[in-house]
Amino acid sequence: MRTRCTRTLRLALLAAAPLLAGACTQWDGRQGSLNSTADPSLASTGPDTLYGAGIDAMRQGEFQEAITYFDGIEREHPYSTWATSARLMAAYSDYQRNRYTEAIGALDRFIQLHPAHRDIAYAYYLRALCYYEQIVDAQRDQRGTEIALSQLQEVVNRFPDTPYARDARLKMDLARDHLAGREMNIGRFYENKGMYAAAIGRFRRVVDDFQTTNHVPEALHRLTECYVALGLVDEARRTASVLGYNYPGSRWYQDSYALLADRGLQPDGPAAERPGFFARAWNSVF
């Protein structure tokens, strides 16, 4: 899931730009004058210089060193104008080190304490990324995916016209695909065990709740299989018709058609030609 390093660093530096402009003036030409492990030197250094050093370390990928500088600002200059942005940049540095728990904790505090900060949209977005990048494959529990989806949705709801919202929408599609994949895995398990009623519940959820994912054609085919196994001929024909109308070139429709043809059946062809057939036929099945 970590394909975002360059883009997110660019967004982080964009968020820090107003402060960075002044900090770089102070820091330029002074690399090496600060010892990242020596607290006395941090205490005697101005917050603007520390901030510039932190940004410089972050650009070089030295995120632990960057945290030292940002934490130094919070510790030695807690009431300076630099301290608030330092908290956000420290959280970003933790995120880049895959220390998601620490980053989320810091971002939660930032959001609670600074709800009107100019970079509050980025804070929400970064927190959502921390959850999103912990998404696991569809074979495992997807509670984390559900949390990530809700966090991404919050970014979209709160900041709909920002670049963060646009990126969040793209990531939401993948999160939904993971959730649909989990339902498909469980549905296939139930179907293979002959537990058709339980399988139908899972496949129906994919069709009802995740219609934009690429799992829907297979879900409709699996529903057709389950209805045939239960002897529910009319439901099987109507479901196959929904599949054929919406995904006529899909191999899943070919499989459903062959399944019904082997039993002397066929999908409801004429009905599939009418506009809006998907909704009508699907509702008629249930």
Residue 120 lies in a domain: yes
Residue 240 lies in a domain: yes
Residue type (1 letter), 42: L
Those residues whose C-beta lies under 8 Å from the C-beta of residue 138, and which sit 6 or more positions away, are 178, 181, 182, 184, 185
0.85 exceeded by pTM: no
130 and 26 within one domain = yes
State how far the Cα of 90 lies from the Cα of 210, in Å rounded to an integer. Answer: 37
Name the one residue in this structure whose structure tokens are 């970079």.
Answer: 119
Position 80 scores a pLDDT of 83
Residue 158 lies in a domain: no
Position 35 scores a pLDDT of 46
114 and 191 within one domain = no
Expressed as residue numbers, the domain containing 221 is: 181-285
Number of structural domains in the chain: 2
Position 23 scores a pLDDT of 43
Instruction: Give the domain CATH number at 77.
Output: 1.25.40.10
- Let me know the angle formed at the C-alpha of 14 by 145 and 78, rounded to the nearest 5 degrees: 90
192 and 126 within one domain = no
130 and 9 within one domain = yes
Out of 134, 152, 171, a domain closes at 134
**Using N-to-C axis directions, what is the helix angle for 5-27 and 82-96, rounded to 10°?**
140
**Tokens representing 272?**
């599939």
Name the one residue in this structure whose structure tokens are 């900090």.
Answer: 23
Residue 160 lies in a domain: no
Residue 274 lies in a domain: yes
241 and 281 in contact (C-beta within 8 Å)? yes
> Half-sphere exposure (CA, 13 Å, Cβ side) for 262?
8
189 and 127 within one domain = no
Residue 33 lies in a domain: yes
Q: Considering only CA atoms, which of 74, 40, 6, 2 is closest in space to residue 54?
A: 74
9 and 130 within one domain = yes
109 and 205 within one domain = no
197 and 112 within one domain = no
Residue 170 lies in a domain: no
- Tell whether the torsion through CA atoms of 188, 193, 196 and 198 is positive or negative: negative
Position 184 scores a pLDDT of 95
* Ranges in the chain, pLDDT < 70: 1-44, 136-142, 268-286
Q: Considering only CA atoms, which of 114, 95, 107, 108 is closest in space to residue 7?
A: 95
